[in-house]
Structure 1
Amino acid sequence: MSELAFEPDDPLLARVRALAIDLPGAQEKLVVGHPAFYTRKVFCYYGMSHKVDGHWERRPRTVSFLLPEDERRAMLEDPRVHVPGYIGPYGWLSMFLNDETDWAEVAELIQLSYRETAGKRLAAQLDRREEDHPGPSLPA
């Protein structure tokens, strides 16, 4: 069994978890020591590593997501965003999180990633919910 790559009581993880698990059909599992949120496929990881000056650095306070290609290219210009190790070649991006994080933005990125992976039925459930209650539910 791999070691945990995160602190279980991390308040930033709690906020990411609340956003991800709030989506229709979403569940959580551990993938190589990282929390991963999924329906039929993973749509969000917490705490992925990345290379800095040729060396891998663990970054426990990041959120990783998939985006449509045009939005992915735009996000790569943001200094908070990087291509994570291992999953990056498959289109994933990661964003650093801290106490000043814009959680509405994180909620939007997680929802976009969810829509890339969840399938039509679950995306339609999310659409219906958003029609009834516009805007993401943001955790405290």
Structure 2
Amino acid sequence: MEHPQVIDPGHPLVERIRAICLAYPEAVEVEAWGRPTFRAGKKIFVTVSASMDHPFTFVFKPAPGERLAYLEEPRFYSPPYWGPGGWLALEIDAPDTDWVRVAEIIDTSYRQVALVRQITALDSAGGQNGPERLV
């Protein structure tokens, strides 16, 4: 059964998330469940569009201890299917979206699933791989 496309992969918000995600070592984009997913090798670190009702969101894996703090903010929520595993979603269609923060969240999510060699490659460039350089 083929899933319907949840969001246009060429939408500017998807393009912006794509640019951030694909800058990571061994990051690839794979369409799954009608959505763009970004993976560190085989492991997903970002999925665009938490649900049909929330297409302009992205799903990420927060660092341990950050989840509850994020949930205190209205743009963050526990998405269907992913939420029970500790993942969160963030609304990104607001004009005041803080893209430096989005990049920092993506960086953390990548580090939660990446292999040691991928994190080593990321960190080997020193400060040149900071998330703020990606926005």
Query: Are residues 1:74 and 2:69 paired?
Result: yes
Whichever residue aligns with residue 34 of structure 1, its letter is R
Q: Secondary structure at the match of 2:65?
A: helix
2:58 corresponds to: 63
2:10 and 2:35 map into 1 onto residues whose CA distance is 14
* C-alpha displacement of 1:87: 1.1
| Pick aligned residue for 1:122 from 118, 123, 128 | 118
Aligned counterparts, 1:36-115, within 5 A:
36-39=37-40, 40-49=42-51, 58-98=53-93, 99-115=95-111
For normalisation by structure 1, the TM-score amounts to 0.87
Q: Note the residue ranges of structure 1 that are not aligned, 5 or more in a row.
A: 50-56
Deviation at 1:134, TM superposition (A): 5.4
Aligned length: 131
Q: What is the identity, as a one-letter code, of the residue corresponding to 2:117?
A: R
TM (normalized to structure 2)? 0.90
The amino acid of 2:80's aligned partner reads: G
**Superposition map of 1:26-45 within 5 A:** 26-39=27-40, 40-45=42-47
Q: Per-residue deviation at 1:30?
A: 1.2
Q: Percent identity?
A: 37
> Any runs of at least 4 consecutive aligned residues in structure 1 with deviations exceeding 2 A, and if so which?
134-139
Distance 1:19 1:134 in 2: 11
